[in-house]
Amino acid sequence: MVYSKHTCSPIDLIYIMRLFGYCRVSTSQQSLDIQIKRLINEGVSTDRIYADKKSGATLDRGGLETLKIKVEKNDVILVTKLDRLGRDTADMANLIKFFDGLGVFVKFIDDGISTEGVMGKMVVTILSAVAQAERLRILERTNEGRIEAKEKGIRFGRKISIDHEKVRQLRNDGMSVINIAKELGVSRGGVYKIINSQKLSLG
């Protein structure tokens, strides 16, 4: 299957578009075979198909990284579905923008979507807007969660380190646990834990 770019210069017409394929599965139990067969049926040679498969707790993206290096201007990357390219909408949109910057087109077979031509530019713009909206929603949910957690007394940031020797000194000077906590700006529970570990008298 040969793809040609209709909106290109005479010089570009000399270049025959090369087909590449990319497939991905998000769980170790899934198989890449179906996606690979689809890509081969669309005319992609096996040596130009790059794949990533989740192994254990991580997803190896070596196939994608190699694909980024191999493709050149006017090449076409075929992917079976939108969700097979990126891990989420934002990731997919960023990848499409990356390839668009190289002059490389991405075509999603099952979805009938391509980034080639004028309509393709619209697709890139729309997906970028969707990704931005998704990032804003995530940020908004995160901020709402932080506000709710703070209202419940949950503290954020790096855990405060308590000076054990200072606790020992203040306790030996006769200061109460409550005052030690106020003095050091830490919780009473933390002071009690240090005192108990040092087997000091609580008095």
3-state SS of the chain is CCCCCCCCCHHHHCCCCCEEEEEEECCCCCCCHHHHHHHHHCCCCHHHEEEEEEECCEECCHHHHHHHHHCCCCCEEEECCHHHCCCCHHHHHHHHHHHHHCCCEEEECCCCEECCHHHHHHHHHHHHHHHHHHHHHHHHHHHHHHHHHHHCCCCCCCCCCCCHHHHHHHHHCCCCHHHHHHHHCCCHHHHHHHHHHCCCCCC
- The pLDDT, as a whole number, for residue 182 is 83
Helix axes 188-197, 177-184, angle to 10 degrees: 110
What is the C-alpha separation between 194 and 181, in angstroms, rounded? 11
pLDDT at 66 over 70: yes
Nearest to 192 by CA among 179, 177, 182: 177
pLDDT band at 200 (very low <50, low <70, confident <90, very high): very low
Q: What is the pLDDT of residues 69-120, one digit of tens each?
A: 999 999 999 999 988 998 888 888 889 889 999 999 999 999 888 998 888 7
Report yes or no: 196 and 177 within 8 Å, Cβ to Cβ.
no
Catalogue the active-site residues: 26
Residue that wins the pLDDT comparison between 3 and 79: 79
Mean pLDDT computed over 38-42: 95
Q: How far apart are CA 146 and CA 149, in angstroms?
A: 5
Work out the average pLDDT over 145-152.
Answer: 66
pLDDT grade for 68, boundaries at 50, 70 and 90? very high
